Amino acid sequence: MKNKKMITWGIVVLFFIIIFWSGCGTYNGMVTREEGVVSQWSNVENVYQRRLDLIPNLVSTVKGYATHENKTLTEVVEARAKATSVTIDPNKLDATSIQKFQQAQDGLSSALSKLMVVVERYPDLKANQNFLELQSQLEGTENRIAVERRKFNEMAQAYNIYIRKFPKNIIASICGFDKKSYFQSQAGAEKAPKVEF
User: Residue-wise pLDDT tens for the chain (197 aa)?
Assistant: 678 888 888 888 888 888 888 888 899 999 999 999 999 999 999 999 999 998 888 888 887 777 677 788 888 888 989 888 888 888 888 888 888 898 889 888 888 888 888 888 888 877 788 888 888 888 999 999 999 999 999 999 999 999 999 989 999 999 999 999 888 866 554 444 443 32
Residue 79: partners with Cβ closer than 8 Å, 6 or more residues away: 104, 107, 108, 110, 111, 112
Q: Give the chain's largest Cα–Cα span.
A: 99
| Domains of the chain, each with CATH number or no CATH | 20-175 (1.20.1440.20)
Region class of 41: left (phi > 0), else alpha (psi between -120 and 50), else beta: alpha
Task: For the chain, report the end-to-end CA distance as a whole number of angstroms.
Answer: 95
Residue 128: partners with Cβ closer than 8 Å, 6 or more residues away: 61, 65
Q: What stretches of the chain show up as alpha helix (H) in DSSP?
A: 2-65, 70-85, 95-119, 123-127, 129-164, 168-175
